[in-house]
Chain A
Amino acid sequence: MEIDRQELERLVRDHIDVAYNLARYLLRNDEDAKDAVQDAVEQAWSHAHQLRIDFRPWFLQIVRNRCYRLARREPTETLIEEPVANDRTAERVIDGEAVRQALEALSGEHREILILREMEGLSYEEIGKVIEAPLGTVMSRLSRARVALRELLGETI
């Protein structure tokens, strides 16, 4: 589907925050996130001819791939941090910072699927397009990611 410049510009503008939020959580710093989104925007411009009607997952897939490429690792291996054992977790009141830390402690694939689903409200089908996985994988991975987050946040939720 060919779309004109103005239309693409509008679409990018509408989805730039979703893209940045995903990149920022995946890469965990502003500069890399900016680079990844910038690259993705440029790629979107140059691949506008491949653009399907469903812009959001298409664009986020590009963003995600740029993030993993920037991290220079395979998606399944990248961005994984050992969960930080934090025995104070249970005593703390859950606030945004605690959730952010927990998110960042998750593996990349758990982190991204939680962001796409819970923060951005993507459907399973859209998530499947972004992470290039079938629906069954989306469901099982999302389920494991939720459990992993819960374990990190501890008893407080």
Chain B
Amino acid sequence: MTCDEAKLLLGAYFDDELRDPLQAAQVAEHIETCASCAADIRALEAGRAALKLAPRYAAPRELLPRRRPRFAVLEFVTGIAAALVIFATYFVFADSVRRGDRLAMLEASHARALVSGRLVEFDRVDGHQIRPWLADKLGISPPAPRLLAYPLQGARVDRLGTSPAAVLVYGIGRHEAEVYVIEAESGFGGITRAETKGFQVRGWRRSGLQFLAISDASPDAVDQFTAAYREAP
């Protein structure tokens, strides 16, 4: 390899960019024997060493990629929304379970009384007598109005879950309707209108008491009865 040939390749040799190993070997061999090319290599090395002294600027922190705020906010909001949905689902679900339990309890109590034929324990249908009787038994004294279309058949003391209940029994045609009255805080507040196993259920609150009417009469008939009971003086 001549000196001129070698000089053309010195830079690539220095940068380890000669693809052909044989060529690289020839350049190396030439440098061994050529003072001029050896000096050129030393100059290349000095240049590289000098450049290593120059400051290398580091990127300011603000240039580092960050999750863009809108994505962070979006993720945050999505997270919150998901949590809310989970909570809401849980409560709705749990509530519906509790509601189902309460309805089942009410229905079971009513059905038990119907089957046993002991809807009425106290059959003196004068409301003025029923109320003191219930008050005496339970400490609950619900209104027991005499209704024109719905004969008051009597009253009974029962339970809904762990809560003592006063039960007023009315007739709706050939059907019975019972009005369960319990303390308002007994946990039966979620029911306003429901149907369970063919029984119509209506619920409402008044004066610290929870009322639950249940009957196997038609929905309309039960609505009318409930309205009549609630509107009675």
What residues of chain A have their CB less than 8 Å away from a CB belonging to chain B?
Answer: 9, 12-13, 16-17, 19-21, 24-25, 30, 33-34, 37-38, 41, 94-96, 98-100, 103, 114, 117-119, 123-124, 139, 142-143, 146, 149-150, 153, 157
Contacts and interface: CB of A to CB of B under 8 A. Distances in A.
Given A20-B63, A41-B65, A25 B57 contact: yes
Given A24-B57, A96-B53, A103-B54, A13 B15 contact: no
A119 B44 contact: no
Nearest to B67: A9
Given A37-B59, A100-B54, A157-B46, A123 B17 contact: yes
A3 B47 CA distance: 39
B64 interface: yes
Nearest to A21: B57
Contact of A119 (B12, B49, B56, B64): B56
Contacts of A19: 59
B39 to A, nearest CB: 12
Contacts, number: 85
Interface in B1-24: 11-12, 15, 17
Contacts of B208: none
Interface in B218-232: none
Residue in B43, B49, B51, B62 whose Cβ sees the most chain A Cβ within 10 Å? B51
Contacts of B65: 9, 12-13, 16, 41
A99 B57 contact: no
Contact of B51 (A12, A34, A99, A143): A99
Contacts of A117: 15
B57 A37 contact: no
Q: Looking at chain A's contact residues, is the secondary structure mostly helix, strand, loop, or mixed?
A: helix
Main secondary structure of the interface of B (DSSP, over half): helix
A20 B57 contact: yes
Contacts of A98: 53
A96 B36 CA distance: 28
Given A96-B55, A123-B17, A38 B63 contact: yes
A150 B47 contact: yes
A148 to B, nearest CB: 10
Contacts of B233: none
Nearest to B49: A157
Contacts of A153: 47, 50
10 contacts: A25-B57, A34-B63, A94-B50, A142-B11, A142-B15, A143-B11, A146-B47, A150-B43, A153-B47, A157-B43
B58 interface: yes
B139 to A, nearest CB: 67
Given A13-B65, A17-B56, A20-B57, 4 more contacts: A33-B57, A96-B53, A118-B51, A119-B51
